[in-house]
Amino acid sequence: MPRSLAYSLGAAGLLALILVPFFPQVIYPVFVMRVMCLALFACAFNILLGQTGILSFGHAAFFGSSAYFCGYMLKEQGLSPEIAILTGVVSASLLGAGIGALATRRSGIYLAMITLALSQLVYFLFLRLPWTHAEDGMQQIPRGVFFGVLDLNSDKTLYFFVLILTLLALALIHRIIHSPFGEVLRAIREHEPRAKSLGFPVARYKILAFTLSAGLAGLAGSLKAIIFQVASLRDVHWSMSGDVILMTLLGGMNSVFGPALGAALISALYHYLDFLGGWVTIMVGTIFILCVLAFRKGIVGELQAALTTRRSDTASNDKKDSENATN
């Protein structure tokens, strides 16, 4: 995608996000905050799937555990939001490092099954712990005052707080992907034996990728707990891991922010077609099948490929015209 077009679309999207709280009759700000959390979750997951080539079926463990620990610090311990969010991110990062160290000993479907099994252990843990309240979940989590200045009980303040943190986290993901570290991750994805032969400690890079992805997913989970003031078993259930895989593949796993588009589309379908009940799941599944068949690279990936083809055709035509004019 041309850089000028990307900047224009980014500026337009940022302007639209800034205006959302001032026009609640057009679009519900809480829905947009949910989309931002899921977009961050999907982009964090894509560090593993799209950049490193690791398929994890247990990413809900990081998202949900962070929501629970953040809620615990706010509700049970009465601590401030910054400490609660930091606790959620650190706990998710440590959990990601542990699961990554175990799972990356294998590859392919075996790695995916290990992540699923460990994620289900985390689910069972939060089902049994007394302070999680089992199926009822943690409810009425206080939002608190961020650094004693920002009252997150104000809807507008909370919205811009979530927007700023999400943008900073997405900027960090962009920097990670376009750094030398990101180049090594792509080398591992493309040909792991060759990366080893070049002297890169592949196992360490995989564990670090797991840790970074889990920590950023944990930030999304912490924000979700503060926004909705609830941490539930749905957040750590395997179906949440399935949802983030769906979002990533739909948006385009070979792009940086393609998963964010997938998260927005899936969230919009579930939100605006909620009146259809169980039929929503069928519609989402049908759309996913059609997109996989028609857009093998995801929506953003196909758009980027189409623009690249168009630019190359234009350059080829211009070259032919110049050669004809010279002759």
CB contact at 8 A, 217 and 44: yes
CA distance 76 to 131: 8
Structure confidence at residue 5 as a pLDDT band (50, 70, 90): low
Q: pLDDT band at residue 27, thresholds of 50, 70 and 90?
A: confident
For residues 234 and 291, what is the distance between their CA atoms, to the nearest angstrom?
A: 26
Q: What CA–CA distance (Å, rounded) separates 310 from 303? A: 11
What average pLDDT does range 240-264 have in this prediction? 88
**Mean per-residue pLDDT for 100-115?**
91
Residue 215's pLDDT band (cuts 50, 70, 90): very high
Task: Using a pLDDT cut of 90, give the percent of the chain over it.
Answer: 53
- Which whole number is the average pLDDT over 61-78? 94
Instruction: Determine the average pLDDT of the residues in 44-48.
Output: 94
**pLDDT band at residue 16 using 50, 70 and 90 as cut-offs:** confident
Q: Which of 7-16, 88-97, 128-137, 228-237 has the lowest mean pLDDT?
A: 7-16
DSSP 289-327: HHHHHH-TTHHHHHHHHHHHHHHHHHHHHHHHHHHHHH-
Q: Rounded distance, CA 76 to CA 44, Å? A: 28
| Phi, psi angles (nearest 5°) of residue 150 | -90, 115
Length of the chain: 327
With vertex at residue 274, the alpha carbon angle to CA 152 and CA 29, rounded to the nearest 5 degrees, is 25
Q: Which band of pLDDT confidence, cut at 50, 70 and 90, is reported for residue 181? A: very high
Tokens of 225: 């707990």
45: its two tokens: 């997951």
Residue 123 pLDDT class (50, 70, 90 cuts): very high
| Per-residue model confidence (pLDDT) at position 13 | 84
The alpha helices in 133-257, defined as continuous H runs, are 155-177, 180-190, 192-197, 202-228, 238-251
Average pLDDT over residues 206-227: 95
Cα-atom radius of gyration of the chain, to the nearest Å?
Answer: 21
For the cut 70, the answer to whether the pLDDT of residue 1 exceeds it is no
Burial of 186 (0-12, 13-18, 19+ CB in 10 A): middle
pLDDT at residue 290, rounded to an integer: 81
- Could you tell me what percent of the chain has a pLDDT over 70? 93
pLDDT above 80 for 173:
yes
| 272, 226 contact by CB (below 8 A) | no
* pLDDT band at residue 12 under the 50/70/90 scheme: confident
Q: Give mean pLDDT, residues 22-26.
A: 83
pLDDT reading at 294 higher than 90: no
pLDDT level of residue 100 (50, 70, 90 thresholds): very high
pTM for the model stands at 0.91
Measuring CA to CA, which residue among 211, 76, 70 is closest to residue 146? 70
**Rounded CA separation 318/322 (Å):** 6
pLDDT higher than 70, residue 296: yes
Query: What pLDDT is attached to residue 285?
Result: 81
CA 87/CA 71 separation, integer angstroms: 10
Measured in whole angstroms, the distance separating CA 117 from the mean position of its chain's CA atoms is: 21
Q: In this model, does residue 9 exceed pLDDT 80?
A: no
Determine the average pLDDT of the residues in 22-42: 90
Q: How far is Cα 76 from Cα 78, in angstroms, rounded to an integer?
A: 6
* pLDDT tens digits for range 225-245: 999 999 999 999 988 998 899
